[in-house]
Structure 1
Amino acid sequence: MDCCFSCLGEKKKKKKKKKKPQMVKPPLEKPQIPPAAEKAKPGGSSSSRQESLEPKEEMVLSNGAAQIFTFRELAAATNNFSADCLLGEGGFGRVYKGYLDSVSQVVAIKQLDRNGLQGNREFLVEVLMLSLLHHPNLVNLIGYCADGDQRLLVYEYMPLGSLEDHLHDPSPDKTRLDWNTRMTIAAGAAKGLEHLHDKTNPPVIYRDLKCSNILLGEGYHPKLSDFGLAKLGPVGDKTHVSTRVMGTYGYCAPEYAMTGQLTLKSDVYSYGVVLLEIITGRRAIDVTRAAGEQNLVAWARPLFKDRRKFPQMADPALKGQYPSRGLYQALAVAAMCVQEQPTMRPVIGDVVTALSYLASQTYDPEVHGIHRTSLLIAPSTPPRARNRGVDQRENR
């Protein structure tokens, strides 16, 4: 079936009289970040990151849906944070696999490094966001621990690890991702991002979309994780939110990296980079490659202009087992997402439509074989008309 992309479908504190503290649950449709959380800077001294939560912060957290665990419980669940239970490690700290008797469930426990990059603010944001946001393609936060200077987050356990684990230098026991699985993961990740952008009020800008933050469950079901850098998006006549540049090099949209002006289209750019990684098998930034190939987007842009070179962009690990038409369509979506001008990028809803279609087109190499190249859509195909209205509002 022929198809083209265009057819696919901080407020000032007010002085108040002293009253007894009331337990007020923030509304589900408009998650609020407490002022104390906005003040805490992850770049501050280690002592500021180790201090206990303020009473107001504790009150807000206690009203969320997440459970509260003691440090003793989580230590017992991980055999005192044994190296045998270690799942991974990053700038934020370490993640351990454990079993909690209180919920009768295998869990993943992230222990924030008290001297690391992630402080009270990111801890609070993540708890609040994941307590209020629920979707099949967003990781489920079970609870947290804030004992003294300890900060831990408890998530559902994702048995297949991250997309990065499978896509880049997988261990011998991991099977290389086939085309169908890649498109299913890409579509699921887009749906998670769509929920943040279109189904919440105000919208949520994820700000840290990358392969290592896409976790995989049974059947390679993808879920976005790590919401410590998430920001509430612009509302009303505002076109952006201004914030210091944070995220991961190689995934940041150019306009955000240069000006600090963050929009929903900043996430769309990051998604385009991830989609390129899924298609090509290359890293966003790979210093081991030749000078002109170290930045994935910079390497891909010239190739987007010549459809005859599209097959060169397919991951060699696929061994030619992919639908030529599907490859062109996926590359066209990626090309639009990584446009330098944010107004030229599609909204995430259109990306979901396109990727859902591609994920539904099951490819069987034994039946279809290796197709001859044929271009159904070009990378220069403009976003759907709906995008133009959105872009006009953004440029007012």
Structure 2
Amino acid sequence: MKINCLLCCMSERRFTRRSSSRQSIKDCIDAKNNITTFDNISFKTDSSRRRYISEEIAKLGKGNISAHIFTFRELCAATKNFNPDNQLGEGGFGRVYKGHIETPEKVVAVKQLDRNGYQGNREFLVEVMMLSLLHHQNLVNLVGYCADGDQRILVYEYMQNGSLEDHLLDRRKFTLMADPLLEGKYPIKGLYQALAVAAMCLQEEAATRPMMSDVVTALEYLAMKTEEDGEEEDERSKL
């Protein structure tokens, strides 16, 4: 009876989380479908453009958007004029800089989108909406954005330990990815094999990524192998 109650409670919590997640995704889809195409709208001043974009985001986010609106001047000060010494990385959409903002006071990652590469105001709005409405412990949170003039900048929480890609490409950081509850009691070979599976899941082309069922099977095999290796080690220590 107790087990059934526990399973029921767990199922209810999972359902609540799924419902919340589905609602967030639905809000994003609704917003994306309702965003007005205003790439060709001309604005007399940067402030009117910024105000229009912020109003669109607030309206389509149904009041749930908590992202702070930064001015370009504020982000220049935060990154010391986008100093190359503060650059954390560079991708296909732009460069990311480490910065320090005063309101709220924290260290952040400032992503300056390539002005020649982004697709326009509509796509920028969708990205802000998606990042603002979707919250998960494994997703970096959006702190705010900037839409001054032709600038399109996103401000994220700063990942002190680096990104998943940083760890996967740096063998010296592999052990930092292991669950601390294991207290180092795992074979290094098993860790490398698990990371190899993770790297396969991060392939850019969807067709080259393994199916989730194959990933689960591979991880179950690794877990079982780790337990067997641990038992053999215990037997040898007894001898």
TM-score by length of 2: 0.59
What is the CA-CA distance between 1:156 and the residue it aligns to? 1.0
Alignment of 1:329-340 (within 5 A): 334=210, 337=211
Structure 2: gaps of 5 or more residues: 1-22, 41-45, 176-187, 234-239
User: Greater shift after overlay, 30-39 or 110-119?
Assistant: 30-39
Q: Relative to structure 1, is the Cα distance of residues 176 and 352 closer, same or farther in structure 2, using a 3 angstrom cutoff?
A: closer
Partner of 1:159: 160
Equivalent pair of 2:94/2:113 in contact (CA under 8 Å):
yes
Q: Relative to structure 1, is the Cα distance of residues 54 and 164 closer, same or farther in structure 2, using a 3 angstrom cutoff?
A: same
Does 2:31 correspond to 1:33?
A: yes
Partner of 2:206: 252
* Match for residue 60 of structure 1 among 44, 47, 56: 56
Equivalent pair of 1:85/1:98 in contact (CA under 8 Å):
yes
Letter in 1 for 2:173: T
Q: Relative to structure 1, is the Cα distance of residues 75 and 58 closer, same or farther in structure 2, using a 3 angstrom cutoff?
A: same
Partner of 2:111: 110
Structure 1: gaps of 5 or more residues: 1-26, 45-49, 190-208, 212-247, 254-269, 274-333, 338-345, 371-396
Counterpart secondary structure, 1:159: coil
Q: Which has the larger radius of gyration?
A: 2
Between Structure 1 and Structure 2, the one with more helix by share is 2
Partner of 2:74: 73
Partner of 2:202: 210
Q: Relative to structure 1, is the Cα distance of residues 159 and 33 closer, same or farther in structure 2, using a 3 angstrom cutoff?
A: same
Counterpart secondary structure, 1:127: helix
Letter in 2 for 1:144: Y
CA distance in 2, matches of 1:66, 1:75: 18
Q: Relative to structure 1, is the Cα distance of residues 90 and 184 closer, same or farther in structure 2, using a 3 angstrom cutoff?
A: closer
Equivalent pair of 2:140/2:157 in contact (CA under 8 Å):
yes
Equivalent pair of 1:167/1:176 in contact (CA under 8 Å):
yes
CA distance in 2, matches of 1:35, 1:354: 38
Equivalent pair of 2:99/2:108 in contact (CA under 8 Å):
yes
User: Paired residues, what number?
Assistant: 184
Q: Relative to structure 1, is the Cα distance of residues 351 and 142 closer, same or farther in structure 2, using a 3 angstrom cutoff?
A: farther
TM-score by length of 1: 0.38
Letter in 1 for 2:55: M
What is the CA-CA distance between 1:152 and the residue it aligns to? 0.7
Counterpart secondary structure, 2:95: strand
Deviation digits for residues 317-352 of structure 1 (CA, Å, limit 9, x no counterpart): xxxxxxxxxxxxxxxxx3xx1xxxxxxxx5xxx678
Letter in 1 for 2:31: I
CA distance in 1, matches of 2:196, 2:68: 29
Counterpart secondary structure, 1:175: helix
